[in-house]
Chain A
Amino acid sequence: MHTLQDPEFGNKMVTLMAALVLVLQIAMVAQRWIVTNIRLFAAQSFLLAAIANTIAYYNHAPHIYVAAVLTLLAKGILVPIVLERLVARIEIRQEIEPIVNIPLSIVISGGLTLVGYVLAEPFYRPEEAPGAATLGHNALAVAISLFLIGFFMMINRRKALTQVLALLCLENGLFLAAISLTYGMPLIVELGVLFDVLVAVMVLGILVYRIRETFESMDVSRMRRLRG
């Protein structure tokens, strides 16, 4: 049998790429520069599209190809370009100032990955669906970890733009969970979700721009007029 047709090989490829996705996520937690963060996010989206392609190939599920291409276009190319232009336009200081310092953030992310693996365990049932369906058992654990680390990034960052980036990471986690659990949601749902992500980036981008103009800063912790 040709190596490419061997599902075991596909499984290994998915696991490898999922691991890389996780590494990129932790790199985002550790990275200080906003532009690098955006590029890491773009790389992560590319890898996700590659995972989707691999799973589509080994499970003969053509609709995942469509989802993969759309993800690549939307989150791998369009969203990073929009965000980078926004960064250039608002001329911010390029540094992210996390609330918890970076070494501790990495340790916390490691802990969250562990939690992700524990949570993914009940979904691993090789006896029910043997063969190709076990593809991506690790991918689900990585997906849950991405989701949790995304939450952590959201809380840990003060600047409006970096919070948007954290929200996008949450969304990447969801996409990975969708392809590893059920080989993708129905296409119409994927389309709806992607459309919403794109509109959300536009809306939040405009908000970020206006916050920056109004407050002379993107630090959302300075917005505390509304209380009680």
Chain B
Amino acid sequence: MILALLLAVPLSACAACAVSAVSAVSRRRSVLEAVNVTAFAITFLLALAVASQVLRSGAISLWNGFLYADALSALVILLNAAVALVCSVYAVGYLREDQRLGALDGEVGSHGAEAKLRMYYSLTPLLVFSMLLVTLANNLGVMWAAIELTTLASVFLVTFYGKVTSLEAAWKYAMIGGVGLSMALFGTLLTYYAGHKFPGSEGVAGLNWSILVGQAAQLDKPSMRMAFILVLLGYGTKAGLAPMHTWKPDAYSEAPVPSAAILSVAVLNCAIYGLVRFYVLTSRCLGAQYPGSLLLLLGLFSMGIAVPFVLVQKNFRRMLAYSTIDQAGMMVTALGIGGKLAAFALMLHMTFHTVAKSLLFLSAGNIYQCFKTDLFLKLKGGVLKVLPITGAAFCLGTMAIVGLPPFSLFQSEFLMIRAAFGTAHFLVGALFILFGLGVFTGVTLHVSGMLLGTSEEPRAAWHPWRDTPIAILAVILIVIGFWLPADLLELIRRAAEVVSP
């Protein structure tokens, strides 16, 4: 029952904000904001409840197994619901500031600020709904449809400002995403074919992950081999793995910052989640070697390609996008290494990355709105002087994301490298360290130039809607570096057991 509620809340928020176009009462901005924040707060509480129920009594399912949540789903749901809540609070402050600055009036098209706000506040719950459906759907075909829905729901968030460049970004996002996902659908179809001859797998249940995983060893091997390649290319496009990553920097730098944070963190989690589900099936059917080597190839390539682009980057929001490509590469590499330790490192990394990257995007949004530019050249330093809290948070997030020791991501990356050497993937371990160093150099170089120094801008005031979420995230980031709540750790451990028991 709780699973259905979890889906119903964001969907009704979406409907409520969408119909406000007709009813004059709820047209006011504050109503839209209140509906969003409340809906995401309830979603987060429900996600907590799902997680605790999964911890207590194992996997839960609803409607004949149509919805299904095990530890892996519960972890991703929890992380995504948390991101959605933080971003919805931040969005209130961010969009109000945008409206004050007149950024919503746009160059092209006749959409007024009011229509744009309504669009934002009804598409974001739709996006969150589709992300929750990805993680709750047991049927791999429904999961595919939900992932496609995340793209469709967010296309108009990318074109939000109606600039020429946003159209270009949205076109790339929709087309590359569409082609990629059509490959994933072919892969899903082949998976269905691989298992459809078993008795009892006729109809809807034939694509249910919880059933397929039990029969994985008897699935048709040649079809699974082809299916995994197609799914890897498809969901890899969604995760932004190189060479299908080109839409990513464009979409993230054109979308409003809270949406970019959701896209970069929560949608990435969904794509990795989809890959993990298929990896489990394929590795139980064909052994871990075959899917592992393909994942390692794409993962390391993504990490490698991020290095030069981070080094020469001129725009800090695009730099964050390349950092996300790098992180996605790391997660896929960890999945490819295989084994208990790597799976645990992957889940840990996903958790830490969720906190650190949303912190970075949100503080980047503050910097962008204060200095009205996202180019390093025009910024010329002084962020710490003008925006002490945001600057400190950005600095903290950067140190975490490049994997400096006291912070959380160092632990997960260290575990990944240990797993690589432990399973005799020496080249993988060496390349991992090399690319990690490259990104480290690029990011610290740019960010230190941006944060330090002086600036003529006056010191900015405290903005409660925008600065509180950032401060909370920064505190969480510091705390999880040293201490994870026992229940969360247990959830991460169980999620890793789904991947490699």
Contact = CB atoms under 8 A, between A and B. Distances in A.
Given A167-B179, A199-B152, A203-B155, A228 B203 contact: no
B175 A167 contact: yes
Interface string B149-190: 100100110010000110111111011001100100110011
B189 A177 contact: yes
9 contacts: A154-B175, A177-B189, A186-B192, A188-B204, A192-B146, A203-B156, A207-B167, A207-B171, A225-B168
Contacts of A63: 203
Contacts of A123: 193, 223
B291 to A, nearest CB: 19
Among B179, B197, B203, chain A packs the most CB atoms within 10 A around the CB of: B179
A1 interface: no
> Mostly helix, strand, loop or mixed at chain B's interface?
helix
B109 interface: yes
Interface stretch (B310-318, B358-366, B438-446): B310-318
Interface stretch (A13-21, A78-86, A209-217): A209-217
Interface of B: 108-109, 139, 141-142, 144-146, 148-149, 152, 155-156, 159, 164-165, 167-172, 174-175, 178-179, 182, 185-186, 189-190, 192-193, 196-197, 203-204, 206-207, 222-223, 249-250, 253-254, 309, 312-314, 318
Given A196-B149, A203-B174, 20 more contacts: A123-B193, A154-B175, A163-B175, A174-B189, A181-B193, A182-B189, A185-B141, A185-B207, A186-B203, A186-B206, A187-B204, A189-B141, A189-B142, A196-B145, A200-B148, A203-B155, A214-B108, A223-B167, A224-B168, A226-B249
B139 A160 contact: no
Given A186-B206, A210-B108, A225 B165 contact: yes
Closest 7 CB pairs of A and B: A189-B141, A192-B145, A223-B168, A186-B204, A226-B250, A196-B148, A181-B193
A182 B196 contact: yes
A151 B189 contact: no
Contacts of A171: 182
Interface string A162-173: 010001001100
B138 to A, nearest CB: 11
Contacts of B156: 203, 206
A228 B312 CA distance: 9
A196 B165 contact: no
B21 to A, nearest CB: 16
A187 B175 CA distance: 26
A129 B179 CA distance: 33
Given A188-B204, A207-B174, A174 B155 contact: no
B193 A182 contact: yes
- How many chain A residues sit at the interface, stated as a range, is 35 or more
A147 B186 contact: yes
A207 to B, nearest CB: 6
Given A200-B152, A203-B156, A226-B250, A193 B167 contact: no
Contacts of A174: 182, 185-186, 189
A223 B166 CA distance: 11
A137 to B, nearest CB: 14
B178 A200 contact: yes
Nearest to A119: B226
A129 B193 CA distance: 13
Contacts of A147: 182, 186
Contacts of B179: 151, 154, 167, 170
Contacts of A220: 171
B115 to A, nearest CB: 14
B141 A210 contact: no
